Amino acid sequence: MKLKIKFIALLFICLLSNTEGNAQDTPLIGEIKIFAGNFAPRGWAYCDGQLLSISQNQALFAILGTTYGGDGRTSFALPDLRGRVAIGPRNGPGLPSYKLGQRGGAPTNKLTILEMPSHNHLTSNSAAADQHAQLSTKTAVNETPQAGDVPAIANIPASLGVQNVKSFGPPAAGSVVNGQTLSGNADLTILNNGGSQAHNIMQPYLTINYIIALVGIFPSRN
């Protein structure tokens, strides 16, 4: 009799342990895991945004609702993690706030003017040398121009038949520029450079499957 009681007690302990183990192994409905295989196990589905029937997945719909898509009458969508990483909702310290089911981001980015740092461009310009005539306020000393001479005040001799008129002299102190002050604007064109191509902003990655539990234990809020 005592042996029989001990056997029943041992059997009960084994059954209890097995039940607890199964409960721990059973996923929560809506639980997402990373799976390295190339298929979705039974009771699980890929997190690929597919639409499911509400009538056939009422428990899962009660958890997900239309957070990830669907019309909410006949269908609802699973989370779509294809080519995406998961982030937590709400906002962390110093970070933006995100809502559950919100999507964003891009694998590439093309810089705009507002995204570029303030910078300068070097340019060069060349112009022809300015040339102008000079007149001297001094009395001329030469009849014919010598090297460096400029027109000067005519030196007319008393007798034209004896000497020629002297009209040239060196640009000594008192020489003036006979001309006008010029001013104006010039447009400089800087040639474009670069290809205007988007650049890759992807972090190092490994492609692997995300799967979601369709059946299991319905999660309790308490």
Q: Report yes or no on 20 lying in a domain.
A: no
**pLDDT single digits (tens) 182-208:** 666 777 777 777 788 899 999 999 999
Q: Report yes or no on 72 lying in a domain.
A: yes
pLDDT of residue 20: 45
Span 163-172, average pLDDT: 65
Q: Token pair of 200, please?
A: 């890759």
Q: Which domain holds residue 64?
A: 49-83+202-221
Given a cut of 50, is residue 113 above it in pLDDT?
yes
**pLDDT single digits (tens) 45-63:** 999 999 999 999 999 999 9
For 25-41, b/e burial (b = at least 16 CB within 10 A) is eebebbebeeeeeeebe
Given a cut of 50, is residue 13 above it in pLDDT?
no
CB atoms within 10 A of CB 142: 14
CA distance 175 to 132: 13
Q: What's the N-to-C CA distance of the chain in angstroms?
A: 44
Q: Report yes or no on 59 lying in a domain.
A: yes
Number of domains in the chain: 1
Residue in this structure with the two tokens 């400029």, named with its chain if needed: 150
Task: Give the pTM.
Answer: 0.60
Cβ(174)–Cβ(137) under 8 Å? yes
Q: Report yes or no on 68 lying in a domain.
A: yes
Q: Token pair of 24, please?
A: 């721990």
pLDDT of residue 189: 74
Q: In residues, how long is the chain?
A: 222
